[in-house]
Structure 1
Amino acid sequence: MPKGSFVGDVAKDLGLQLPEIRDRGIRVVSEGSTQYFSLHGKTGYLVTAERIDREQLCESVQQCVLRCELIVYGIQVEITDINDNAPSFKENELERRMSEATAPGSRFPLPEAHDPDSGRNSLQSYELSGDEHFSLAVQAGPGGDQRPELVLAKALDREEAAFHELVLRAMDGGDPARTGTARIRVTVLDANDNAPVFGQAEYTVRVPEDVPVGSVLVTVTATDADEGLNGHVKYSWKKIREKASNIFHLDSETGTTTLLQNLDFEEGDAYELEVQAQDGGGLFDTAKVTITISDINDNAPVISVRSALSDISEDAPSGTVVALLHVQDRDSGANGMVRCSLDGDVPFRLQSSHGTYYSVVTARELDREQVSEYNVTVRAADGGSPSLQSSAVLALRVLDVNDNAPVNLSHIRKVEFKLDDGELKGSRNPPFQ
């Protein structure tokens, strides 16, 4: 959808009159730094403020929903997918090495295609074309994903054919369907009768989010009883998301996983990876690697002033709202629990509105003749140890009302007193009033 496209009639759906929208200054606030929607003041329509790319926003979520806020109302916009992406392989040219002694029925992992679309528009099936020696099997992964495997249907004979050329095709369910292909070249080798075997089926490790870059997080180990090239094991990621591949590095020779960049618990608290050990003849074993991130208190609370008055009448009743605040801490647990307070003895108090929203309201009557301006400091502190804090200052001017009558000073007369032998004597001229 291009910028400015119609999304919904907010004024109609919420029963608002168009003058209300203009007079009250109602506006739309999206979560995050990018504002994807705006409110058209003349029509009350919710329209797109930026181009929306579903695959960029919701890479692996079936239902893609963007949330935005009015001051009082919350809006959810569901982004409907279209089939604008074809399945694709990370590598279009693949090479597999296979022993001529491999028994028919043996299976070998093939790379999975990726299609960022969802539902029927996502990846649906695979096809293999080439020659009679090979067929295709598709297994269901733990998350319901399809995992293609190359199946040896007929015994190989290196002297008859040293190479086999195959084409793997991935298709989605769109109308019309989109496809992606990868060419596979199978090189036939001499016998290799033992596959690598991992020492354990699953490796689990927990690390704090402030672990230094370059740290070794976990090491996997697989053994192969064969000798030479057939017994040489190399490690690679069998299944890993692009984001995780930029964070973790797997050494193909040692099986050691090291940290490439700083972790952030708030961006991801756990990573489930699948590692593969493959020997020189193409036989393999897989193991699961789970890396769990522990939170540390590295985020201070953030105070956002959603609306605020700059002037208030001194006769405003107690409980008058002068500001609406949103307070959020990206940490979790006690590190993300926030306490809010106002500095100093001011005639205002904080009132919890809804969840992470707070209202600053008047606590008692104001008197402009005593204090004409206030700088109200709102402070937010989290429950971490040590606690992290942030603050925001609200500037408020008190407007005058006619609450004082004039005072007549013309009747005041001069009075003189003096002490005479310890007695107080006075003279009044004119008579004292």
Structure 2
Amino acid sequence: MVGIIIMIRVDCSFIKRTQDYPCKAMRRQVLLFFLVFSLTSVFGQVSYSIPEEMEKGSLVCNVARDLGLDIKRLKSGRARVHSGDSAEYIELNRDRGVLLIKERIDRETLCGDTTPCALLLQMILENPMELFRITIEITDINDNAPSFASSEKRFEISESAIIGSKFVLEKAIDADIGTNGLQSYSLNPTNNFALKLENQADGSKKVEMILQKPLDREQDQHILLLLTALDGGQPRMSGTMQITVNVLDVNDNAPIFTKPVYKATITENSPAGTSVITVRASDKDGGSNGEISYAISNSKRRLSDLFQIDRKTGEVIVIGQIDYEKTKLFQIDIEATDNGGLSDSSKILLDVTDVNDNSPQLKILSKSDAILEDSPESTVIAMLSVNDPDSDR
């Protein structure tokens, strides 16, 4: 935050007073100084930590006591809490000198994956003017269970599929973070398939089903599996997806992407229909078993609302609003699947470049309605904040 102090000095050394007009011949010299508001003008700061989902009206803290302020000072100074956001979650009770929950706080709505999640507040007092900074960290509780976008997934797998063949499974989504977030998966039964998890750069896990025992269509035409996602909260919460494997004939080769990671750049506010990148996968099989279809994998963020991939060509295009101020980098998981059910996965790292699409926003935090002519230099008469969401220049 950048603030501005305006200081006024009035020089009345040349006043000639008369009985009827005491200041008729006053010569005024007004000097205006614009100075950068620095941390030395902040009179104190405190930090607190509270869990999300506290009831409306719940006590956050005794801020007057913690800052060493008297209740009378809060009232005489018309103390108030300022938040840079439009949503007001915290309110000040001057009579008690405490901060209370004004609106229920959902950490996932407020911060998403960002951690730590905190509300940055400013408490303003007047006569004399003072500013205090208050940081309130919002901690996560286990209020979300892992979930899959689909309740069921089907595979068509040839009985001739070789041991070690892999099949990409859908990742679960858990809005919670840390130990309350998604921790592990399990697959049952494990007669023919084993579960393989691989850590990825963004902290998620690549989930694959590996064939560990040959399939026999004459023995089992259909295999039912249950994929379970578990979090680490207390008590633990889970989500499940039913997997159905239809055993078919002969598909020896899985699709293979030309790159394990694709990289591209896009400018924010690009219109719908803008081409991002075209991915490619190949399959050594001929005929229908060599035909490949592309898809964007499920992820915690609803990337399907922003991007669309052509199932046949692999071209990725924009269909939603890209905002640099909200997201600077997209990690898009993609799949290539042939008609025999074999699949491969890859990732697109998409950098978003900024454009100057935001104007600076100026807010008056506090101002004096009047000032005495004998006010000393450095008297604070107004506080302002200026913010521009754009980056760099």
State the TM-score, normalizing by the size of structure 1.
0.73
In 1, Cα distance between the equivalents of 2:266 and 2:146?
35
CA RMSD of superposed structures (Å)? 1.8
For structure 2, the 5+ residue unaligned runs are: 1-53, 125-130
Determine which structure has more spread, i.e. the larger CA radius of gyration.
1
Mapped contact 1:215–1:258 kept (Cα < 8 A): yes
Q: Which position in structure 1 is the counterpart of 2:48?
A: none
C-alpha deviation, 1:200, in angstroms: 2.7
The structure-2 alpha-carbon separation of the partners of 1:330 and 1:194, relative to structure 1 and needing over 3 Å to count, comes to same
Mapped contact 1:36–1:48 kept (Cα < 8 A): yes
Which residue of 94, 115, 130 maps to 2:189? 130
In 2, Cα distance between the equivalents of 1:207 and 1:131?
43
Which residue of 208, 222, 226 maps to 1:167? 226
Q: Which position in structure 2 is the counterpart of 1:256?
A: 315
Q: Which position in structure 1 is the counterpart of 2:353?
A: 294
Alignment of 1:140-219 (within 5 A): 140-219=199-278
Q: Which position in structure 2 is the counterpart of 1:311?
A: 370
Are 2:108 and 1:49 equivalent residues in the alignment? no
Letter in 1 for 2:85: G
Mapped contact 2:295–2:334 kept (Cα < 8 A): yes
Q: Which position in structure 2 is the counterpart of 1:14?
A: 67
Provide the secondary structure at the position in 2 that maps to 1:311. Answer: coil
Mapped contact 1:62–1:119 kept (Cα < 8 A): no
Mapped contact 2:173–2:299 kept (Cα < 8 A): no
Letter in 1 for 2:187: L
Mapped contact 2:167–2:344 kept (Cα < 8 A): no
Letter in 2 for 1:33: S
Instruction: Name whichever of 195-204 and 37-46 sits farther off.
Output: 195-204
Provide the secondary structure at the position in 2 that maps to 1:310. Answer: coil
Which residue of 115, 129, 138 maps to 2:174? 115
In 2, Cα distance between the equivalents of 1:283 and 1:325?
61
Provide the secondary structure at the position in 2 that maps to 1:312. Answer: coil
In 2, Cα distance between the equivalents of 1:89 and 1:3?
32
Provide the secondary structure at the position in 2 that maps to 1:136. Answer: strand
Q: Which position in structure 1 is the counterpart of 2:297?
A: 238
C-alpha deviation, 1:318, in angstroms: 4.5
In 2, Cα distance between the equivalents of 1:9 and 1:273?
45
Q: Which position in structure 1 is the counterpart of 2:285?
A: 226
Which residue of 324, 329, 342 maps to 1:265? 324
Are 2:379 and 1:326 equivalent residues in the alignment? no
CA-to-aligned-CA distance 1:199-225 (integer Å, 9 cap, x gap) = 233322222223222211211111212
C-alpha deviation, 1:167, in angstroms: 0.9
Which has the higher relative contact order, 1 or 2, with Cα contacts under 8 A spaced 6 or more apart? 2
Letter in 1 for 2:198: Q
C-alpha deviation, 1:243, in angstroms: 4.0
Mapped contact 1:95–1:185 kept (Cα < 8 A): yes
Are 2:116 and 1:67 equivalent residues in the alignment? no
Provide the secondary structure at the position in 2 that maps to 1:313. Answer: coil
In 1, Cα distance between the equivalents of 2:148 and 2:57?
35
Which residue of 122, 129, 145 maps to 1:86? 145
Give % identity: 40
Q: Which position in structure 1 is the counterpart of 2:156?
A: 97
CA-to-aligned-CA distance 1:77-118 (integer Å, 9 cap, x gap) = 122222222211111111112111111232212111122222
CA-to-aligned-CA distance 1:16-53 (integer Å, 9 cap, x gap) = 11111111122112231101111111111111111111
The structure-2 alpha-carbon separation of the partners of 1:202 and 1:143, relative to structure 1 and needing over 3 Å to count, comes to closer
